Amino acid sequence: MVNTSQLIDELQHQPDFPAAVEELQKRLEQERSRRQEYYALLHEDGKAEFINGEIIYQSPVKRKHWKVSIRLSTLLHNYVETNQLGEVGVEKVMVSLSRNDYEPDIVFFSNEKAGGFQPDQMHFPAPDFVVEIVSESTESRDRGVKFDDYAVHGVQEYWIIDPEERSIEQYLLQGKTFELYQKLTGAGLLKSTAIRDFTVEISSLF
C-alpha cells in the first residue's frame, strides 16, 4: 500500500505544488460528480461498484461461485441469528467507504454497527467481516484496491475464497493492513475471529 504521507511530502517540495493541489481538487470534484451519477444509475437487478472514479459492472457469476456463496452465507446467517450476534448480508449490500462503493459477496455487521440500521437504508459502513469469492475478472481488485480499502476502513477480518483452487485465505487486521493468518486448501477447519466462535469445515463449501 502506498504511503500517503510520503507522497504528500514529496509533492509539497515540488515547485508546482499549488497547481498540483488545484488539479487534485478538480479531479476529486469530478469523481464526486461521477459517484452521484453512479448512484442514479443503480437498480436492484444489476450489480456494479464505484472504484477510484470508475463504474465497474459485474458479469454474471459461474455456478461454482454462487454455490460457495449460498453455502457459506447460509451457515453464517443461521449461526449469527441463533446467537444474536448481528447481521449477515449477501451480494447486493452496498458498502460505501470514503471514496469507493463495493458490493462484497458476503458481509457481517456486529450488533454495535447493525443496531442503527434503518429498513430502507441502502448505503452501509465498513463491515466487521468481508468475504470475496474471486473470479478471473475480479481477483485483481479483490487482492488490490479492495484489500487495501477494507483494511484502512477497519474491517477486522477478510476471507478470499478461490473456487478453482478450493481454498480460503484468512486475513486479520493488524493496524491499517491485513496479514495472512492462514490459508487452507481442500479441507480443514477455519475459525473466525470477528464472528465469535464461528467455525466452518471448508470442504463443505465446495
Domain boundaries along the sequence of the chain: 4-41, 59-205
> How does DSSP classify residue 143?
T
What sign does the CA torsion over 75, 81, 84, 87 have? positive
| Residue 45: predicted pLDDT | 60
Query: What cell does 143 get?
Result: 487482492
> Mind listing the pLDDT tens digit of every residue in the chain (206 residues)?
667 778 777 777 777 777 778 778 888 888 888 888 888 777 656 678 999 999 998 777 889 999 999 999 999 999 999 999 999 999 889 999 999 999 999 999 999 999 999 999 999 999 999 999 999 999 999 999 999 999 999 999 999 999 999 999 999 999 999 999 999 999 999 999 999 999 999 999 99
pLDDT given at position 58: 79
Give the fold, CATH level 3, of 59-205: tt1808, chain A (3.90.1570)
Q: Directed axis angle between helix 17-41 and helix 4-12, to 10°?
A: 140
Quote the pLDDT of residue 43.
65
